[in-house]
Chain A
Amino acid sequence: EAGVTQFPSHSVIEKGQTVTLRCDPISGHDNLYWYRRVMGKEIKFLLHFVKESKQDESGMPNNRFLAERTGGTYSTLKVQPAELEDSGVYFCASSQWGQGWAGANVLTFGAGSRLTVL
């Protein structure tokens, strides 16, 4: 079974440019999450999709960040325009759907996409 796949693995852009990160979850996983770790801070939740619907986007820092999951398969996270403080590692995770079922709670993470904004 393929794991959670993210790309690019590393992106270097200049302040003001746009970057789009992609995540392919494990096949059949309805839950998809984005987390990020900026320099020196803890890994923080950004948002949660159930299929194509945004279940919780309370962690999105501002409106420069846009996440989509068309068709309930892969997801993209776009940062436009990028700022210096957006530098960090963006993680995607997925889990199976099942309200109250332990399997839904076991998140599998991808390798992350490292974003450097100069």
Chain B
Amino acid sequence: GIQVEQSPPDLILQEGANSTLRCNFSDSVNNLQWFHQNPWGQLINLFYIPSGTKQNGRLSATTVATERYSLLYISSSQTTDSGVYFCAVVPGAGSYQLTFGKGTKLSVIP
């Protein structure tokens, strides 16, 4: 099956710093989503981005489908950004199974 690798596995930032999280995937996809798991365990949908670039406030994401990677940018980080960020993909067409990466654990310290 498709492989999803996220890097870095852990990241510690000072409040106000910027960061880039990466997601590499081993095959073509027709669905890619970024999620944030908050300290209460809830998975929050950040972006649906199988290709292209999107922005939402301090967050933005870019997926280069031809090169099989996606990037999540966090600017001016805040302590509330802490948690685990997951990339999840669905390969090809006709399937709805999301395959998740192991996540990047982000800790933003004041």
A-B contact pairs, 6 of them (CB 8 A): A31-B96, A42-B102, A56-B95, A105-B31, A111-B42, A112-B41
Give B32 Cβ to nearest chain A Cβ, in Å. 9
The answer to whether A112 touches B48, judged by C-beta atoms less than 8 angstroms apart, is no
The answer to whether A111 touches B40, judged by C-beta atoms less than 8 angstroms apart, is yes
CA distance A42 to B86 in the complex (A): 10
The answer to whether B98 touches A106, judged by C-beta atoms less than 8 angstroms apart, is no
- A residues in contact (CB < 8 Å) with B: 31, 33, 35, 42-45, 48, 55-56, 58-59, 89, 91, 93, 95, 100, 102, 104-112, 114
CA distance A105 to B94 in the complex (A): 11
Give A23 Cβ to nearest chain B Cβ, in Å. 13
CA distance A89 to B102 in the complex (A): 15
CA distance A45 to B30 in the complex (A): 17
CA distance A59 to B102 in the complex (A): 18
Interface size on B, residues (CB 8 A): 25
Q: Specify which chain B residues have a CB less than 8 angstroms from the CB of A45 in the assembled complex.
A: 97-99
The answer to whether B41 touches A107, judged by C-beta atoms less than 8 angstroms apart, is no
Give A37 Cβ to nearest chain B Cβ, in Å. 8
Give B25 Cβ to nearest chain A Cβ, in Å. 13
CA distance A91 to B101 in the complex (A): 16
| Contact residue among A33, A105, A107 (Cβ-Cβ distance under 8 Å from B30) | A105
The answer to whether A109 touches B97, judged by C-beta atoms less than 8 angstroms apart, is no
Give A109 Cβ to nearest chain B Cβ, in Å. 4
Q: Specify which chain B residues have a CB less than 8 angstroms from the CB of A102 in the assembled complex.
A: 48
Q: Specify which chain A residues have a CB less than 8 angstroms from the CB of B90 in the assembled complex.
A: 105
Q: Specify which chain B residues have a CB less than 8 angstroms from the CB of A95 in the assembled complex.
A: 96
Give A78 Cβ to nearest chain B Cβ, in Å. 21
Given contacts A43-B86, A55-B96, A112 and B43 within 8 Å (CB-CB): yes
The answer to whether B41 touches A89, judged by C-beta atoms less than 8 angstroms apart, is yes
| Contact residue among B41, B48, B103 (Cβ-Cβ distance under 8 Å from A111) | B41
Which of A33, A43, A95 is the most central at the interface, judged by chain B CB atoms within 10 Å of its CB?
A: A43
CA distance A88 to B48 in the complex (A): 26
The answer to whether A48 touches B86, judged by C-beta atoms less than 8 angstroms apart, is no
